[in-house]
Copies of this chain bind each other. A is one copy, B any other.
Amino acid sequence: MNKEEFLKDLCIETDSKIILLVMDGLGDLPENGKTALETASTPNLDHLAKSGCCGLTDPVFRGITPGSGPAHLSLFGYEPTKYILGRGILEALGIDVHVEKNDLVARGNFATLKDGLIQDRRAGRISTEENRRLCKKLNQSVQKVDSTKISFFTGKEHRFVVKFTAQGLSDQLSDADPQRDNRPQVYPKPLSSKALETADMVQKVMDTVIQVLKDESQANTLLLRGFSKFPSIPSMEDLFKLKPAAIANYPMYKGLAKLVGMNVLEAGSRLPDLFETLKGFYQEYNFFYVHVKKTDSFGEDGDFPSKIEVIEKTDQFVPDLLDLEPDVLVVTSDHSTPCLLKSHSWHPNPFLIFSESAQVDSTEKFSEKECSRGYLGRFRSVYAMPLMLAHAGKLTKFGA
């Protein structure tokens, strides 16, 4: 079954408003018997859990640890094992590169070439500042090759993104990366006949870049990986008859939202900015994806007290959300980021839905343990969207 098309057939336009509050990496493992969420004082979230309906979600399926891409697509109602996002596009979104239909993007490394071999695939991990100088140089010297426009964007240390713009480019290219040090420079190979010209063009660009960098001591060549185009994903408006807005502080999440056709709002850089933006634009849209990043960041750092603090701060904005009187309010995470593991994990996300038509269960608090007893049970995140749509009165009866 194609879940998206199935929902599309049932979806109708309504005036109802949905808020999806994603606390990135919220799910946790207990330290001293309690998770960050269980330890935090969250009277407002607890009130929602108590008067709403709870459950636990698996981003992909049991055991799978997702990246931000599949984890978010799933929450937005897209089967994450079907809509696969290329590495290049995710890297580009992460550093706020604007990608359009005619663009081809790839992740790049500055590297060191010596005696015909790639001596260091990371060019001694040059500084981000040095990277910036190199990208500036390339953007001045390598603006166009034949009819293809070229742009370079600085990432962290030795990493960058390159964007090729022209009609008819293909992403069916192998990585231009020898994978290990002390092997010769590699060019991308076409993986289908459609990519023959693109492969030639990229090789030409690489040779031009190497020419420009030839006098650099460390970063005198480049590797390119994860060639990808703007993915072809049906929009949330098309599928779910929503007018969606994304409210996020970080580029990656704005980018992901753009891929499914959300309108990305200017949302500042601090937590309160998110809720200010929501309030300011509340009349103009009917679906709001609000993204809190720091729960994940502190999870990745293994910083339990700071994760608790972000949760508590976010909790204080819940009354502002309720003041807007949304028809549906969901609070959940895209994936777990346990402080103990300092990384994304496969553990399920706490999930709560607050709505007039939500069946009130006996959960007393918003926590992993309480959610595991919730009426919604344990389900794949991709079913969050039908649940939100249903509670918003946007799904008509299936069959007669």
Instruction: Report A's interface with B, CB cutoff 8 A.
Output: 1, 3, 6, 10, 29-30, 56, 60-71, 80-82, 84-85, 87, 90-91, 338, 340-341, 343-348, 357, 359-362, 368-369, 372-379, 383, 385-391, 395-400
Q: Are A386 and B61 closer than 8 Å at their CB atoms?
A: yes
Please measure, in the bound complex, the distance between the C-alpha atom of A64 and the C-alpha atom of B3, giving whole angstroms. Answer: 11
Residues of B within 8 A of A388 (CB): 63
Asked if B386 and A63 make an inter-chain contact with CB atoms under 8 angstroms apart, the answer reads: yes
| Contact call B397/A66, Cβ cutoff below 8 A | yes
A291 vs B360: C-alpha distance in the bound complex, in angstroms? 28
Give the docked Cα–Cα distance between A306 and B88 (Å). 61
Contacts of A63 in B (CB 8 A): 383, 385-391, 395
Contact B399 A80 (CB under 8 A): yes
Could you list 28 A-B pairs, sorted by A, with CB under 8 Å? A3-B61, A29-B359, A30-B359, A60-B398, A61-B383, A63-B383, A63-B387, A63-B395, A64-B390, A66-B397, A66-B398, A67-B397, A68-B400, A69-B400, A70-B399, A80-B399, A90-B400, A338-B357, A341-B357, A345-B357, A346-B387, A346-B395, A347-B359, A359-B368, A361-B369, A376-B378, A378-B378, A378-B379
Q: A1-B81, A1-B82, A378-B377 are in contact. Are A66 and B372 (CB under 8 A)?
A: no
Q: Which residue of B lies closest to A369 (CB)?
A: B362
Q: Do B400 and A91 have beta carbons less than 8 Å apart? A: yes
Are A399 and B360 in contact, with the CB atoms below 8 A?
no
Question: Does the CB pair A64–B372 fall under 8 Å?
Answer: no
Shortest distance from the beta carbon of A337 to any chain B beta carbon, whole Å: 12
The number of times this chain is found in the oligomer is 2
Nearest chain-B residue to A336 (Cβ)?
B359
Smallest CB separation, A181 vs chain B (Å): 21
Distance A226 CA – B375 CA, assembled complex (angstroms): 37
Q: A389 contacts which chain B residues (CB < 8 A)?
A: 63
- Given A1-B82, A56-B377, A81-B6, check contact A390 B65 (CB 8 Å): yes
Closest 7 pairs between A and B when the two form their complex, measured CB to CB: A63-B386, A377-B378, A67-B399, A63-B390, A70-B399, A67-B400, A62-B383
- Cβ of A128 to closest chain B Cβ, rounded Å: 19
Q: Describe A's contact surface by its main secondary structure.
A: loop
Q: Which of B10, B69, B379 contacts A64 (CB 8 A)?
A: B10
CA distance A85 to B85 in the complex (A): 36
User: Which chain B residue shows the least CB distance to A3?
Assistant: B61
Residue of B nearest to A93 (CB): B400
Contact A398 B362 (CB under 8 A): no
* Chain B residue at minimal CB-CB distance from A70: B399
In the bound complex, CA of A29 to CA of B341 (Å): 39
- Across the interface, do B65 and A398 meet the contact criterion of CB distance under 8 Å? yes
Smallest Cβ distance from A292 to chain B, in angstroms? 20
**Nearest Cβ on chain B to A385's Cβ, whole angstroms:** 8
The answer for the CA separation of A72 and B372 in the assembled complex, in Å, is: 28
Nearest-neighbour CB distance to chain B for A89, whole angstroms, equals: 9
Tell me, in angstroms, the Cα distance from A343 to B361 when the chains sit together: 21
* B-side contacts of A56, CB under 8 Å: 375, 377
A31 to chain B minimum Cβ distance, whole angstroms, is 11
In the complex, given contacts A1-B82, A340-B357, what are 20 additional A-B residue pairs having Cβ atoms less than 8 angstroms apart?
Answer: A6-B81, A30-B360, A56-B377, A60-B398, A62-B386, A63-B386, A63-B388, A64-B395, A65-B390, A67-B400, A68-B399, A68-B400, A71-B399, A341-B357, A343-B397, A344-B397, A346-B390, A346-B395, A348-B375, A372-B374
B residues in contact with A82, CB < 8 Å: 1
